[in-house]
Structure 1
Amino acid sequence: MTSVVFMGTPDFSVPILRMIHEEGYDILAVVTQPDRPVGRKRVLTPPPVKAEALRLGLPVIQPEKLRNSEELQEIINLKPDIVVTAAFGQILPKSLLDAPPLGCINVHASLLPKYRGGAPIHQAIIDGEEKTGVTIMYMAEKLDAGDIITQRAISIEEEDNTGTMFEKLSVVGRELLKETLPLIIEGKNERIPQDEEKVTFAHNISREQERVDWSNGARNVFNQVRGLTPWPTAYTTFQGENVKLWSVKEGDSVTTHTPGQVVKIENDSFEVATGDGKSIVIYELQPAGKKRMTAQDYLRGTGSKLAIGDQFE
């Protein structure tokens, strides 16, 4: 029986861990990030992978930093045949990369060499890509630069956002890994070097990237909002306060208004001008210090004085 150490942290990784368990591999340990404070009350909360591992009765290791840690040596001492990672969140040291006889492989949520880095799903949607996918790859010391083993592409639909694509790609990753692991174990897998001339990066989302620039075109703003939904969420400012944008679409209005100005107010939505003379229709938003709400509720309440020409920054 092939022995595995699995390394992952968010919800994306959970179906992948579950599949490895269901397929009967010998999971020696599950390595994940430490518990973190969550929410306004800062309740210490285990990552989703830890919760699943405990449900499955698997031992859990939670290093704050893997490099030069006691936990690193503990993992190496387990002598797994293979290490499988999926959105673990830390780069593996060379001592671990070199340890398993079958190597260390990663389930990465992009079609490498495009979108190496920590936010490939967000960035693909923000960039307006029509497809993305999953790559299973050998891990290397350089970020997401290892040889490709298998890949599978799926479409990004108009109604998709980062949340829906995380769910879809998690399923794709689970099924692709299920097919790929036996090939690796039997020595029948491909090993395709990445084309360095086609490399792009998707670094973790910065606060600056979350702010809407209304001088951009409507399509760009639409992609930005859905690429940041449900986390970390795009925002704009109105009368000096931040407003998160949860649900928008491209509008039909053609306008000469200044980008960021309100150009139309309906019962259940309102439209804001963008830099290409088109508009964005806002359906759901979240004013500072308040809950997420429909535009209709916003217009009835705090936004009841919203007027044509009002400026979002």
Structure 2
Amino acid sequence: MKRVSVVFLGSFQHYSTLVAEALVKNDSIKVVGVVTTPPQPAGRKKVLTKTHIHEWAERQRLPVVTPQTLDSASLRQLVSSFNTKVDLFVVAGYRNKLPKIWLEYPRLGAYNLHQSLLPKYRGTNPAEWAILTGEAETGVSLIRMTERFDAGPIIGQRSFAIAPNDTRESLYEKLYQTGGELTAEILPLLEVQHLKGKVQPRLSPTRYARRLARHDGFIDWLTIVKARRGGLTIQDFTNNQLLNYLIDDSISQAGIEPVNDFLVKLIERAVRALYGYPYLWTVVETKKGQKRLRILAVQIEGGKLKLNRVQIEGQQAARFNQIKNLISA
């Protein structure tokens, strides 16, 4: 079987690299180059830092291009840098949307590995939204890319259960590992089989998995206090747009009963879904003034929320009962 030549596009922390590693291990696939985002300032000193996949590609002695924009000029740069015919573009966690001129360039097309069971959870943060909404399972979808975002024909899928303790980070680890295996299995078949794929419905059965921002993680400290004591009501969430949105969605779909138990479970899911970024966070009163508090791990006991691990601004992560200078606990 002829080896298919692949240009890999990715930029999502180390997760994109998991897929690239699976591809290079397959003897029927030849990764000929990597496209990623340009180095960005990182850390307190704002040192220009390459993406994880960029550093990996250099260790593999693969050519790398980092276009600021994707247009005809950057495509010509890619063709010149890689100096070989390209059968496939494979995208996994790449920040930028590919324009039509890029989608049409590879001989066998451009394919995207999406971290949900499409058509569910189209969008940037599918793992977070799957946890937030209480899904029992999730998975990955390999699609042929079209100009419409996350809407192309589904070439292959693989599903698995979401564990009760899965966080955003652990779930993405599983998704990209599983996705790498699936993609490595399917790509060689594209050379010998005409895989049309399954056409997606235009509408998704779920809300759009939009990118989550820092403000999405905020929750009022008084809501946390009440969750620890029991007796939460919907009105306790008026200051959190994200959780309010999820509450409204649940009520409209199936109703919630008992209310307190549902709301405590929602907070617990939010802690796991937002772990790593933007975190579920609040503001507390301390002897040194107001401080931001990240909630890192919780559990539910008898319908009440127990704070296990937190991190207060200026301190190391610790068990909640070890936090110093806290006034309102």
The TM-score, its normalising length taken from structure 1, stands at 0.84
Selected match of 1:201 from 201, 208, 233: 208
| Contact 1:150–1:190 (Cα < 8 Å) also in 2 | no
> Any residues of structure 2 matched to 1:94-243 within 5 Å, and which?
94-199=100-205, 200-212=207-219, 214=223, 215-216=236-237, 217-239=263-285, 240-243=290-293
| Contact 1:85–1:106 (Cα < 8 Å) also in 2 | yes
Selected match of 1:19 from 2, 19, 22: 22
Residue identity opposite 1:212 in structure 2: I
The aligned residue for residue 240 of structure 2 is: none
**What's the offset of the Cα at 1:12?**
1.3
| Contact 2:271–2:280 (Cα < 8 Å) also in 1 | yes
Quick check: 1:249 aligned with 2:299?
A: yes
Per-residue CA deviation, residues 101-124 of structure 1 (Å, 9 max, x unaligned), is: 210001110001111111111111
Selected match of 2:325 from 281, 299, 302: 302
**How many residues of Structure 1 are paired with residues of Structure 2 in the alignment?**
278
| Contact 2:112–2:145 (Cα < 8 Å) also in 1 | yes
CA 1:93–1:197 in 2, change beyond 3 Å: closer, same or farther?
closer
| Contact 1:30–1:60 (Cα < 8 Å) also in 2 | yes
Q: Structure 2 unaligned runs (5+)?
A: 224-235, 238-262
Residue identity opposite 2:76 in structure 1: Q
The aligned residue for residue 91 of structure 2 is: 85
Residue identity opposite 1:286 in structure 2: Q
The aligned residue for residue 5 of structure 1 is: 7
**What's the offset of the Cα at 1:188?**
4.5
**What's the offset of the Cα at 1:45?**
1.7
Distance 2:156 2:6 in 1: 19
**What's the offset of the Cα at 1:31?**
0.3
Distance 1:302 1:63 in 2: 48
Q: Secondary structure at the match of 2:106?
A: coil
Distance 1:34 1:292 in 2: 32
Per-residue CA deviation, residues 41-92 of structure 1 (Å, 9 max, x unaligned), is: 3232211111111111101111122235x32222356541110010011100
Residue identity opposite 2:278 in structure 1: P
**What's the offset of the Cα at 1:250?**
2.0
Q: Secondary structure at the match of 1:291?
A: coil
CA 1:189–1:159 in 2, change beyond 3 Å: closer, same or farther?
same
The aligned residue for residue 309 of structure 2 is: 284
| Contact 1:76–1:99 (Cα < 8 Å) also in 2 | no
Distance 1:65 1:175 in 2: 30
> Any residues of structure 2 matched to 1:66-85 within 5 Å, and which?
66-67=70-71, 70-76=73-79, 78-85=84-91
The TM-score, its normalising length taken from structure 2, stands at 0.80
Distance 2:69 2:271 in 1: 32
Quick check: 1:33 aligned with 2:83?
A: no
The aligned residue for residue 55 of structure 1 is: 59
| Contact 2:216–2:278 (Cα < 8 Å) also in 1 | no
**What's the offset of the Cα at 1:231?**
2.1
The aligned residue for residue 65 of structure 1 is: 69
Q: Sequence identity of aligned pairs in percent?
A: 32
Distance 2:321 2:59 in 1: 42
| Contact 1:212–1:221 (Cα < 8 Å) also in 2 | no
Distance 2:103 2:92 in 1: 15
Residue identity opposite 1:17 in structure 2: A
Q: Secondary structure at the match of 2:139?
A: strand
Q: Secondary structure at the match of 1:197?
A: coil
| Contact 1:113–1:198 (Cα < 8 Å) also in 2 | yes
Distance 1:32 1:107 in 2: 15
**What's the offset of the Cα at 1:286?**
1.3
**What's the offset of the Cα at 1:29?**
1.4
Q: Secondary structure at the match of 1:196?
A: coil
- The structure richer in helix per residue is 2
Q: Structure 1 unaligned runs (5+)?
A: 253-277, 308-313
Distance 1:205 1:53 in 2: 29
Distance 2:11 2:203 in 1: 31
> Any residues of structure 2 matched to 1:257-276 within 5 Å, and which?
none
| Contact 2:281–2:293 (Cα < 8 Å) also in 1 | yes
Residue identity opposite 1:5 in structure 2: V
Distance 1:22 1:144 in 2: 27
